[in-house]
Homo-oligomer: A and B are copies of this chain.
Amino acid sequence: MSKLLIVGTVAFDQIETPFGKTDRILGGAATFIGLSASNFSIDAGIVSVVGGDFPLDYIKLLNDRNIDTTGVEIVPDGKTFFWSGKYHNDMNSRDTLITELNTLADFNPIVPEKYKDAPIVMLGNLHPSVQSAVLDQMTETPKLVVLDTMNFWMDVALEELKEVIKRIDVITINDEEARQLSGEYSLVNAAKKIHEMGPEYVVIKKGEHGALLVHDGKMFYAPALPLAEVYDPTGAGDTFAGGFSGYLAKTEDISFENMKNAVIYGSNLASFCVEKFGTERMLSLTKEEVTNRLHEFKILTQFEIELT
């Protein structure tokens, strides 16, 4: 089975949206990436850290989906990373209420032997130095390294971020972050500038407006599936990254044509993620539902114009 190495947070989230408020529930970038990637029959392993307060049930839940957690360090007397946020009525913006780094504050990632030759590496949103430290441990040069990040790291660790960006193949980033990182307003120009920083492929995530893949002057655009209700956008970007990298790990085909499909799979899986709070929808997701939604994406985007 194809290996996918995932690094990112495994965390507690507490979320408030116009539809309600949760207790502390399972969250974290690596969690969403792993659950999304587990929809492909691959061997996915997570590198992360949690505290002694992290329930074994959650570890079991990941293992049950064939996600290897031997790389998830448990700090018995530490506490798990905690994030709490509140979404505004339009669901496009949110306030972070609480961020407790806890065990994440001095996390030193250790890649299990088994995953040191993983062909696809998915560096989830985390301190760029941690992302670099994971790449340092690879014994084989990965076929493809995908990195997700956010504006926070541009504010507090821009140099480290630029260093790791030099070493990767694909960056996934949202539109505002792409503008911040590049200093360009037009996403076409932003992608060009970011491309010059290292990554051959730039994926700009536009939330409810879809995702844009840019490579060598070529562009591919996947819309988000228009939904009647979005309950909770938390984890949608990570779920996109998990579907994207999981599909590429499954197929081991990193051509532009196949990467288009990876973007569609990422968008497909992210469209489920937002339908319920936290990981709930991803945990009940069936293969049939994913396939049906691929049909919906085809209907939504495909047209037949005879060109003369």
Binding site for B on A (CB under 8 A): 89-90, 185-189, 206, 209-210, 212, 218-223, 226-230, 257, 260-261, 264-265, 291, 294-295, 298-305, 307-308
Contacts and interface: CB of A to CB of B under 8 A. Distances in A.
Given A185-B89, A188-B227, A227-B186, A305 B264 contact: yes
A269 to B, nearest CB: 13
A253 B257 CA distance: 33
A207 to B, nearest CB: 10
Q: Give how many copies assemble into the complex.
A: 2
Contacts of A303: 220, 222, 260-261, 264, 301
A300 B223 CA distance: 11
Contacts of A209: 206, 209-210
A193 to B, nearest CB: 11
B212 A219 contact: no
Contacts of A302: 301-302
B305 A226 contact: no
Contacts of A304: 257, 261
Contacts of A261: 303-305
A77 to B, nearest CB: 46
B226 A219 contact: yes
